[in-house]
Amino acid sequence: MDGNSFQGSIPPTLNRIKGLTQLNLTSNKLTGSIPGTLGSIGSLQGLYLAHNNLSGPIPKLLGNSTSLLLLDLSFNNLQGEVPTEGIFKNLTGLSITGNNELCGGIPQLHLPKCLNPTARKNEKAMSVPLRIAGVTIGVILVLISVLALAVFLYKRHKAGTMKEQLPTPFTEIDLPIVSYNEILKGMDGFSEANLLGKGRYGTVYKGTIENQGVDVADKVFNLQQSGSYKSFQIECEALRRVRHRCLVKIMTCGSSINHQGQDFRALVFEFMPNGSLESWIHSSTGTQNGNRTLTLAQRLDIAADIVDALDYLHNGCQPSVIHCDLKPGNILLTHDMRARVGDFGIARILNEAAIGTSMNSHSTIGIRGSIGYIAPEYGEGLGVSTYGDVYSLGIILIEMITGKSPTDDMFRDGLSLHDFAKAALPEKVMEIADSRIWLHYETNYGNGTRNITETKEVLAAIIQLGVMCSKQSPRERLSASNAAAEMHNIRDAFLSTQL
């Protein structure tokens, strides 16, 4: 319900909604106070009330909630003491910026101290002359402080050293944190010529980072977009846990202030010169001469890399990581056409999610993932699981062999890519295979009957694997480890026939 023009106060009866995990009322015209009853919603994990006209104190009941992991109250007119319990002790999940009359809270918030009742009583008893003197001195001190701060910020800006420290969990990535100026220079001022792509939460540019001497891809988060801060936090949290050859390598990160004084967040990754898998599967460029097509061997290598990455995320990490948005657009290709899985912006850490202690243990509002690759059970409201990633994997495997997108216009009236592939097994796989597979086939593998038969068997095996991974019921799908073992068997068997 964010980004509308809702007016009036927040109904206190929202606590009657059973199973409510996310409440997003950001960027409306709400007034009045925040109902304390919201703190009694036992399932509530994310509460977003930023950019409204709410006033009054922050209910202490919100600090009593044991489920609340993300609370955004920024840019309202809230007053009074900030609670110190629960979510209010977690700086990574709390935002109260833009409420100038708040006080107290934990020391890390750097808010002014609240006056106790005795102090208020004494203040009222002050004589008028003393009050005037106190106010005058206070104004002078404030002016001096503002002037000193302005000079300090100007010098920092001029020197190009403006940096903002990342919250504690992100420093565990153990990477150098670069300033806005460094990234701005390395990306040539974020020029359109360096643009690689745009997503919901940010834009990716090609560039360099000083003293590293290599090309990088810089993902700059659009912090005006609701959910961008959360996406940045989740991706940082996921990336600090993973290290694998089949995952995109993070080089450094940026947490700073831009030239307009606004927060700036960016992640800098190793540059992938061959772009995304999607651009190769569905590219029309070079179709005639084969310059932009994947050979069968390349498809097998890429598929093996993808399942290895997924097997690592599910079984090689402690706790396990669920990607939640596996698709060809998030699979990038190196100079030698090997796959690297990237974009952990909506990933989820499984084990911690189960016990409700991780910042990632909340559900995203709406369906997690991209249309065509989302597991059916997510649309029915069931929880995120490793089986959801496996479903996406199955669709990708079928797509790589058929060249058909799951959102193709041909898939309507109940027909899906899964059903399309399943119906072709085993005899009609040559009919549904991507015709571009054959552009280099004779040169690479010969054109004998034996080779054609072996190729048909390989195509059938991969499509069969994709079908098994993308079954309707989660429990009927393969695990990532079993899918990886099967994919390696298929690839190795094919390569052995080419020796």
**Choice among 72, 325, 389, 434 that is catalytic:** 325
Token output for 100: 């100038």
Annotated catalytic, 325?
yes
Instruction: Quote the crossing angle between the two packed helices 449-469 and 386-402, to the nearest 10°.
Output: 150
Contact at 8 Å (CB) between 454 and 422?
no
Rounded to whole angstroms, the Cα distance separating 214 from 87 reads 41
Token output for 188: 């040539």
Catalytic residues: 325
